[in-house]
Amino acid sequence: MAPKLSHLLLAILVIFSIQTFKGRARTLKPEHQQSFSSFLQKLEGVQRGQTAEGLLHLKKYLKKFGYYPSDATLTSSDFDDHLELALKTYQKYFGLNVTGNLDSSTTQQMMIPRCGVPDIINPPSTEPNSTKSKHKRFHMVAHYDFGSAKWPPSKYALTYTFGQGVQVFDLNTLRSVCADAFQKWAEVTSFTFTEATDGASADIVIAFYSGDHGDGTSFDGPGNILAHAFYPQNGRLHYDADENWSTDPTMNQNDLESVSVHEIGHLLGLDHSNDPEAIMYPTIETGTKKRDLTQDDIDGIHALYSN
């Protein structure tokens, strides 16, 4: 009787595990998922001239996304003039009321999951004679930005492969999602995207990673940065394995295809757009499917590869 009971319990455990991990190889710790939001909520209402625990972390967050000069040294937890200016720049970028304060609308915007690529590339230097204080890396047309880095015509037939990282989806699911995402860009450009044969080198390498994964841009766990990609001709696309991913997201899940289409835009050379409807907008709410290119995205990629 005991062996039969143990076999039954084992079968139930296996079935439960399959259902729990279907499409996923990792589980999330809910307390970690709330940490970034909780951190911002504690700072809401802090004003210029005050000192508060967490302000230094906020400054580093804003610097990461281009709202501080790239050579700025951040050491204090004071709400100073520089933080006020950074907040105003952030608020203007996202179409918020420009107050320079840590108001509710600003902290709510920061809580939305986002791409890890900066919104402002190479912001002005603190040095008045620096070339960075005179020139931006990107050119702005309409809402979208793009840099000088792009694929040469000899590389319009791009290949991609899946690297060794954390297994979040089975390979066939990942292949299908990425193929659909690449196709969105292929339909409006001269690019073709083909999965490389096993063992062959590829122009683009796609993988999931956690935390520090050796590329100089660590992931932060659940609830903030979803993914990042590098500009031509680097060709790396990384997803944060600790996010709650799905191919058909519910309210608290992130849509893999939507994020993939966005990151491929970076792989092709596009920066972020401040058009909230565009694929290249920096943030995307959980539970949202945003998979189709807008005219802003199409205009951006056409302008980048027009000559």
**Binding site feature residues:** 115, 203, 213, 215, 220-221, 228, 238, 240, 243, 262, 266, 272, 280
Are the beta carbons of 113 and 259 closer than 8 angstroms?
A: no
Binding residues for Zn(2+): 115, 213, 215, 228, 238, 262, 266, 272, 280
**148: its two tokens:** 């000088």
Residues with active-site annotation: 263
Binding residues for Ca(2+): 203, 220-221, 240, 243
**108: its two tokens:** 């709510």
Selection from 202, 273, 263 nearest residue 230 by Cα: 263
Report how far apart the first and last C-alpha atoms of the chain are (Å, whole number).
Answer: 77
| CA within 13 Å, CB half, 147 | 23
Q: Is the dihedral of CA 49, 54, 55, 56 positive or negative?
A: positive
Q: Which helix (H) or strand (E) holds 148?
A: none
Are the beta carbons of 297 and 145 closer than 8 angstroms?
A: no
